[in-house]
Chain A
Amino acid sequence: MEKALVTDNEQPVFDSEEIQVVAFKLGEEEYAVEIVYVQDINRLLNITRIPRSERHIEGVINLRGNIIPIFNLHTRFNLQASGNEEDKRIIVFQYDELKVGILVDEVSEVLKIKKDEVEATSKVYGSIEVEHIKGIAKFEGRLLILLDLFKIFE
């Protein structure tokens, strides 16, 4: 089990202009979510299928005694899976009282990006609809799609 990547960082003199994100891959595209929402990153645990549930619900896992629903964003947004099986991870998010995980093809790294480099967008870059995206972040020539989790799990 891998603990969340950056939790006990020295409390940095946080430049309010900077946010930390976890970058990951879904298919060929690179996405990111703010690290404050990330509770845990795990290898694929045994996922229990939920019969007759919606298609984009992959199932549930047991994370230290908690039952966590796992979403499959590939089926939700029609993405192709990519990469190696052993690179796949489950990222578990927590906001408010809700805990929920998503399947990703690979977790790349934790990045600090400047807020002013996040561009609000009305254009569609990847396969995910605009309303689920907070913006596009440019980082050293890469394009990261910043997901709006609240909208996705609503």
Chain B
Amino acid sequence: MKMDMSQYLDIFLEESKEHLGNLNQKLLDLEKNSRDIAALNEIFRAAHTLKGMSSTMGFEDLADLTHHMEDVLVDFKEGTLQVDTRSIDAIFKCFDRIQTIIEQIETSGNGELDNSDLIYILQSIKSGSTDSLDIEENEIISPDNLPEESTENTESVFKFSDYDLTVLREADVRDFKVLNLRVEVAPDSLMKSVRAFMVFKAIEEDSEVIKSIPSAQDLEEGKFEDYFDMLIISKTDSDSIIKRLESISEISVFSITEIQVESLSADTEPEKPEIEAIADVDNMVAGKKVSKTKQTVRVDIDRLDNLMNLVGELVMHKGRLEQIGATEKLSDLNETIEQIDRISGDLQSVVMKVRMVPIEQVFNRFPRMVRDLSKDLNKEIDFLIEGKDTELDRTVIDEIGDPLIHLLRNAIDHGIELPAQRVKFGKPTRGTLMLRARHEGNNVYIEVEDDGAGIDPERIKQKAIEKGLIGVREAEEMSREEDIELLFMPGFSTADQVTDISGRGVGLDVVKNKIEALNGEINVESKLGTGTKFKIKLPLTLAIIQALMISVRDEIYAVPLGSVDETTKITEADIKMIQNQEVIMLRGNVLPLYRLAGLLEVPAEATGDDMYVVVVRRADKQIGLVVDSLIGQQEIVIKSLGKLLTGVPGIAGAIVAGDGNVRLILDIATLF
């Protein structure tokens, strides 16, 4: 009988993509440093999980491919196969294929694909170089002073996996001794687990426990008889270890033997249970902590939205309570309301935080892309990422990937020069591409910076004139900054050659539009010959923004503060007419005025004489909106008007105000 797996499909897809991202990342690490055991282990684990998941879900082709990939990875891990460019390329190809299959499953639900070509490559890699074993090992073990003596440790209770061996060999190279220790606990001891813990603690003062029998966990729970065995690595001599341990009451050391690493061979049982206490020699020597995995729960984003709605409602009702408290003047009530106010504020910020995701999710796709692109273009590029922990709202994260890919592609294709050219300009042959993210106030800044050729303002100007985007006269009056801004004009593309990488007719204007749709800004700094930097400013979230609440007649609207430059009070007499357009003079500048009541066809008539002008910015031009009064600045939770009401000009969305009424958010870009 086949189980219905469809309900798990979403989770499967999401997790596979996550694993795939991780795999790409780690393989890049491994490519950089073929001794990176941690990366190899991570790859192995992710590939294994992927295999398990796909066969559970019944995607046999996927499972089969990952299975063969795993075979090669096992050989890497065991050192019987060397990590080289050929095999890494092949595995990258497998990742691509896996991605294709996953995408196919996502769109059509069908995971069938013929992978025999890749499987053939994988098999040939596996069979091709089994005899590289010796070379590999010689590199790890220091070849000198192999002590011939004690081989007495054959009775060691421990079995070693290849991973253990690598650790032990590494330890040996660094002059650590590997000791096999049997510790006895007094049979009448009442707190065996505590004793065991103390033993571990004593050893870990200057040494490291590789593994123990029974496992560390069992020891901690007291699940052992009168003795236990430990494998430790240490620089301290056996005697002082014995002395230290025997100072613990109810503990005696039954035996301590030094193990000769060279005489060890791998235990070949493949499905050995994972070792309990892993000591990574590298980490130990460097004094670093082994990274801890965070516990997480996967939550449907809809549920978070729901939670957010409920919090919004709570805040709204709190507002009502406040009103009642204020009019009825009940001090008991007001005290309670203050408490509720504090809690609901906290609640709101917690819910917001829950929606935040590290930008890592997006950034992790890039190293692989940069690697492939630079290889294709024969460029040598160091790709550096900074601040990938920076958090952004989920809604922004989903949108920011494409524009960044575009900018990175541009930098690789047009920015960074070929190695030969770079040498000619006196630059290092390897170009540097930086991707930075950082958090500042209510914004996140993302920068894409290359040390390439830079942008030639003159060439841009020429191009713009050629394409008829600007006139010759206009061009002469433009500043350097304005020249470069031309890049963002629709229909502009400087690539002389249309390449596969960029310049496919999609210009930077698309990038700019996307960023602006996210309420962000993009600008560019460039120095000819030294490089280009694109700087993107994004709001932390699209769900909550600061807004200026204004009123016209009896209607109240919210204007996003991001598009408000300033506000000022005027009277009817200040308004002048120029060419049938109402204007005011604002610090010597002519500011065109639009009456909001007219724009929004507000039915009621004006009642007071007061008038305020909200100066808003649209496409770098300032415009004055005439309103009746300014209510104040407020943090608002944006809600969509829904499918039926999308595309109403001038309206960006709605909010639920403190009194429970719906208020509309003005969209400055489409208002006029």
A binding-site residues for B, Cβ under 8 Å: 45-46, 48-53, 57, 59-62, 64-69, 97-100, 153
- The answer to whether A48 and B601 touch across the interface, beta carbons within 8 angstroms, is no
Q: With contacts A64-B313, A67-B639 known, is A46 near B660, CB below 8 A?
A: yes
The residue from B316, B643, B656 contacting A98, defined by CB atoms under 8 A apart: B643
CB < 8 Å neighbour of A48 from B316, B650, B661: B661
B650 surroundings in chain A (CB, below 8 A): 51-52
- Give per-residue flags for B611-648: 1 if the beta carbon is below 8 A from chain A beta carbons, else 0: 00000000000000000000000000001111111001
A99 to B312, alpha carbons, bound, how many Å? Answer: 19
With A48-B663, A49-B555 known, 17 other A-B pairs at CB within 8 A are A46-B662, A48-B555, A48-B661, A51-B601, A51-B648, A57-B645, A61-B662, A65-B313, A65-B656, A67-B641, A67-B642, A67-B656, A68-B642, A69-B642, A69-B644, A97-B643, A99-B642
**Residues B664 and A48 in contact, CB atoms below 8 Å apart:** yes
Q: Roughly how many angstroms separate A98 CA and B642 CA in the complex, as a whole number?
A: 8
Residue B418 at the chain A interface, CB threshold 8 Å: no
CB closest chain-A residue, reference B557: A51
B664 touches A65 (CB 8 A): no
Q: How far is the CA of A68 from the CA of B309 in the complex (A)?
A: 14
Which residue on chain B has the smallest CB distance to residue A68?
B642
B300-333 residues at the A interface, CB under 8 angstroms: 309-310, 312-313, 316
B381 on the interface (CB 8 Å rule)?
no
Q: Which residue of B lies closest to A66 (CB)?
A: B309
Q: Which residues of B contact A97 (CB under 8 A)?
A: 643
CA distance A49 to B553 in the complex (A): 13
B300 → chain A closest CB, angstroms: 14
**Beta-carbon contact of A100 and B661 below 8 Å:** no
Q: List 9 A-B contacts (CB under 8 A).
A: A50-B645, A52-B600, A52-B648, A52-B649, A61-B662, A65-B316, A69-B645, A97-B643, A99-B642
Interface centre among A51, A59, A62, A66 (most CB of B within 10 A): A51
Residues from chain A with Cβ under 8 Å of B645 in the complex: 50, 53, 57, 60, 69
Judge whether B312 and A51 touch: CB under 8 Å: no
* A-B residue pairs, 4 tightest by C-beta: A51-B600, A65-B309, A48-B662, A65-B313
Q: Which of B312, B316, B641, B660 is the one whose CB lies under 8 Å from A60?
A: B641
Asked, given contacts A48-B661, A50-B664, A51-B650, whether A62 binds B656 with beta carbons under 8 Å apart, the answer is yes
The B interface, classified by DSSP as helix, strand, loop or mixed, is mixed
List, in ascending order, chain B residues with CB within 8 A of A52's CB.
600-601, 648-651
Q: Is the CB of B644 within 8 A of A153?
A: yes
**Cα distance A48–B644 when bound, in Å?**
15
- Looking at chain A's contact residues, the main secondary structure is strand
Contacts of B663 in A (CB 8 A): 48
Separation in Å of the B350 CB from the closest CB of chain A? 18
List residues of chain B with CB within 8 A of the CB of A45: 660
A50 CA to B645 CA, complexed, in Å: 9
- A67 in complex: contacting residue of B599, B600, B648, B662, CB < 8 Å: B662
B642 and A65 contact, CB distance less than 8 A: no
Residues of A within 8 Å of B495, CB to CB, are none
Chain B residues in the interface with A (C-beta under 8 A): 309-310, 312-313, 316, 555, 599-602, 639-645, 648-651, 654, 656, 660-664
- Nearest residue in A to B648 (C-beta to C-beta)? A53
The answer to whether A50 touches B644 (Cβ under 8 A) is no
Which of A45, A60, A62, A64 has the most chain B CB atoms inside 10 A of its CB?
A: A62
Contact A60 B648 (CB under 8 A): no
Tell me, in angstroms, the Cα distance from A45 to B656 when the chains sit together.
13
- Considering only CB atoms, which chain B residue lies closest to A46 in the complex? B661
List chain B residues, Cβ under 8 A from A59: 662
Which residues from chain B contact A48 at a C-beta distance below 8 Å? 555, 654, 661-664
- CB-CB nearest in chain A for B601: A51
Q: How far is the CB of A151 from chain B (nearest CB, A)?
A: 14
B660 in contact with A62 (CB, 8 Å): yes
| Contact pick for B640, options A46, A50, A64, A67, CB 8 Å | A67
Q: Assuming the A-B contacts A64-B313, A66-B309, A67-B641, are A51 and B656 also in contact, with contact meaning beta carbons closer than 8 angstroms in the complex?
A: no
Residue numbers in A under 8 Å from B640 (CB-CB):
67
Q: How far is the CA of A64 from the CA of B601 in the complex (A)?
A: 29
Partner of B644, one of A46, A65, A98: A98
Contact partners of B602 in chain A: CB under 8 A: 51
> Taking CB as reference atom, which chain B residue is nearest A97?
B643
Contact B660 A50 (CB under 8 A): no
B475 to chain A, nearest CB (A): 39
Q: Is the CB of A69 within 8 A of B641?
A: yes
What chain B residues lie within 8 Å of A67 (beta carbons)?
639-642, 654, 656, 662
Closest to A98 in B: B643
**Residues of chain B within 8 A of A49, CB atoms compared:** 555
B residues in contact with A64, CB < 8 Å: 309, 313
B234, chain A: closest CB distance, angstroms: 62
Taking a contact as CB atoms under 8 Å apart, the answer to whether A100 and B654 are in contact is no
Q: Kindly report which residue of chain A lies nearest to residue B644, judged by CB atoms.
A: A69
Residues of A within 8 A of B599 (CB): 51
Chain B residue numbers with a CB within 8 Å of A61 are 662
Q: Which of B600, B648, B661 contacts A62 (CB 8 A)?
A: B661
Is A62 touching B644 in the complex (CB atoms < 8 A)? Answer: no
Tell me, in angstroms, the Cα distance from A1 to B601 when the chains sit together.
Answer: 32
Nearest CB of chain A from residue B443's CB, rounded to whole Å: 27
The answer for the CA separation of A101 and B654 in the assembled complex, in Å, is 17
**CA–CA, A97 and B602, complex, Å:** 31
Residues of B within 8 Å of A66, CB to CB, are: 309, 639
Measured CA separation A145–B112 after assembly (Å): 51
The CA of A66 and the CA of B306, in the complex, are separated in Å by 10
Q: Which residues of B contact A53 (CB under 8 A)?
A: 645, 648
B201 to chain A, nearest CB (A): 53
Distance in angstroms between the alpha carbons of A68 and B640 in the assembled complex: 10
C-alpha gap A100/B645 in the complex (Å)? 11
- Which residue of chain B lies nearest to A48 when distances are taken between CB atoms in the complex? B662
Give the distance in Å from the alpha carbon of A57 to the alpha carbon of B646 in the complex.
12
Max chain A C-beta neighbours (<10 A), residue from B313, B645, B654, B660: B645
Q: A50-B651, A65-B312, A69-B644 are in contact. Are A60 and B662 (CB under 8 A)?
A: yes
Minimal Cβ-Cβ distance residue in A for B310: A65
- A57, chain B: closest CB distance, angstroms: 7
Residue of B601, B602, B641, B649 with most chain A CB atoms under a 10 A cut-off = B641
CB distance from A111 to the nearest CB of B (A): 28
**CB-contact partner of B662 in A62, A98, A153, under 8 A:** A62
Q: Name A61's closest neighbour in chain B (CB-CB).
A: B662
A69 to B641, CA, bound (A): 8
Shortest C-beta distance, A46 to chain B (Å), equals 5
A57 to B647, CA, bound (A): 14
Name the CB-closest residue of A to B597: A51
